Structures are given as structure tokens and as C-alpha cells.
């Protein structure tokens, strides 16, 4: 969390360097959050594209009637698997499981990943076996589940873009405030306006967090935890506001 150590100006010659240190100390959570966000956005976009390619591959695979399971190929647990199901499995491996970050982020077997991303019923069909031919009904269920996953990731990318815009705006506003300071001392005549500016940034950020949409989670607080929980802070903008206020005087940080 934010340090309680006061940055002090000892001589006029050190004012510029102290101001630079203050700026770096205040803004580093926001710039770090932006880096985290860009990586996450690139990964989610890659997953969206992979599921779209998988869906296109599945669309080209012919189904069989319930009275004809088609020729069998390799076996799974002693049961024959239809060639159509094997083609679906290959398509899943070559698209969804082939994104660069798959092993690092997920690192789980096909059936487990399909169950988590699509549904247990879809995963059961991918597992195959004599009793699960690639029928029209299963294909429709699979394509529908993949389409929903694509839409979820598309919505999530838009949420991440909104988060990035929020970070950019907060950073610009904080940088503008910092540019008016020669150091950590705020003139008394400017104190009220200074506190009002910080409060405005914090309030706007809280409103943005409350309105974020995060798939399968409750609200924007879950988004912040998901994105930033492995950092020393969970709320980068509020941490930046707190750091600036602590280095320049009394200011009570609002609850997230």
C-alpha cells in the first residue's frame, strides 16, 4: 500500500528532482495497471479470435444421424470415437488450445477446459465414445456455446477498453495536478481546490468501477481484483490519489 514517508524539500536545488520523484511515486500504480491491462486485452482478444476460428472449423464438419454413428477412428477408454468428433477435437486443439498464453494461463486438459469455457455437456461430446455421435443436435449446442463464449470475450474486451480510458483520464488529471506543484507542499490558499480535485478523481473512478461489466463476476470490484490482485494494490487510481494526498497533507481516502 502507499508509503507514509513524507518527501521533504531540503534546498531549492533539489526541488525539481523531488517533484520528479513525487510524480513517479504517485503515477506508478496507474502506469503499471495500464501495462497489466494491455497484456490482458491482447490475451482475451486472441482467445476470442481462436474461438471464432474453432466455430468456423466446426461449421464445416458434417453431422451424422442418430441411426448412423459413422466410421470409427481412435478409441477412448476402449470405445470407438467417430471421425467427426476427432475432427472437432483436433480443431479445438489447433485453435482454442493454441493461443500463446494457454499453458501459462490455463494449462489444463481439453475436456476440463471445454467444460469450464463451454459447458459440461459440450465437453462430454468432445470426449466422444460410441454413445456420443456428432449429431445435428450436438453440433447446434456446440456452436451456440462457442458463440456465447465469443460474445462474452467481445464484451470483456470492451470493458477492458473502458478501464483503459478510465486509467488514461485519471493519469492525465493527476499529472496536471502534479505539474502545478514544485514539491510536496501545497500552498494554503490552494488547499481547498487541491482536495476538491483529488476527491473528484476518486469519485469518478469509483463510479467507473461500479459500472464495469465483468463476465461471470459480480461487479467492477471483481474486475480490479482479477486484474491487479497480484500487485501491492488492487485499486491503482485510488492508490495514486492516496499517495499524492499523503505526500502533500491530510486527505482521507474514500472507501472503494
List the chain pLDDT tens, one digit each, 256 residues.
Answer: 344 334 343 444 455 677 788 899 999 999 999 999 999 999 999 999 999 999 999 999 999 875 544 444 444 443 445 789 999 999 999 999 999 999 999 999 999 999 999 999 999 999 866 556 889 999 999 999 999 999 999 999 999 999 999 999 999 999 999 988 876 778 788 889 999 999 999 999 999 988 876 665 545 678 899 999 899 999 999 999 999 998 886 444 445 5
Name the CA dihedral angle for 115, 121, 125, 127, rounded to a multiple of 10 degrees.
40
Reading the block at residue 182, the C-alpha cell is: 514544485
Per-state percent for the chain, helix, strand, coil, to nearest 5: 70, 5, 30
Q: Is 89 exposed, middle or buried (0-12, 13-18, 19+ CB in 10 A)?
A: buried
Q: What is the pTM of this model?
A: 0.80
Residues 31 and 203: their CA atoms lie apart, in Å, by 20
Q: What is the CA radius of gyration of the chain?
A: 26
Residue pair 163/213 in contact (Cβ under 8 Å)? The answer is no
Per the listing, cell 472449423 goes with: 57
Amino acid at each position: 500500500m502507499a508509503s507514509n514517508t513524507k518527501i521533504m524539500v531540503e534546498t531549492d536545488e533539489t526541488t525539481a528532482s523531488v517533484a520528479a520523484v513525487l510524480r513517479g511515486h504517485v503515477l506508478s500504480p496507474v502506469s503499471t495497471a495500464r501495462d497489466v491491462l494491455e497484456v490482458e486485452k491482447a490475451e482475451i482478444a486472441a482467445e476470442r479470435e481462436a474461438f471464432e476460428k474453432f466455430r468456423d472449423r466446426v461449421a464445416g464438419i458434417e453431422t451424422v444421424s442418430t441411426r448412423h454413428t459413422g466410421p470409427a477412428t481412435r478409441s477412448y477408454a476402449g470405445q470407438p470415437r467417430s471421425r467427426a468428433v476427432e475432427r472437432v477435437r483436433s480443431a479445438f486443439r489447433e485453435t482454442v488450445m493454441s493461443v500463446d498464453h494457454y499453458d501459462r494461463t490455463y494449462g489444463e486438459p481439453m475436456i476440463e477446459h471445454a467444460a469450464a469455457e463451454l459447458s459440461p455437456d459440450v465437453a462430454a461430446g468432445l470426449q466422444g465414445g460410441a454413445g456420443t455421435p456428432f449429431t445435428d443436435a450436438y453440433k447446434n449446442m456446440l456452436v451456440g456455446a462457442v458463440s456465447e463464449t465469443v460474445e462474452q470475450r467481445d464484451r470483456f474486451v470492451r470493458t477492458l477498453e473502458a478501464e483503459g480510458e478510465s486509467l488514461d483520464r485519471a493519469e492525465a488529471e493527476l499529472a496536471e495536478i502534479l505539474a502545478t506543484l514544485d514539491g510536496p507542499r501545497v500552498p494554503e490558499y490552494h488547499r481547498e481546490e487541491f482536495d476538491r480535485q483529488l476527491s473528484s478523481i476518486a469519485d469518478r473512478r469509483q463510479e467507473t468501477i461500479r459500472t464495469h461489466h465483468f463476465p461471470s463476476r459480480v461487479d467492477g470490484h471483481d474486475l480490479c481484483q482479477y486484474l491487479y490482485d497480484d500487485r501491492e494494490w488492487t485499486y491503482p487510481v485510488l492508490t495514486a490519489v492516496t499517495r499524492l494526498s499523503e505526500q502533500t497533507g491530510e486527505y482521507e481516502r474514500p472507501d472503494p
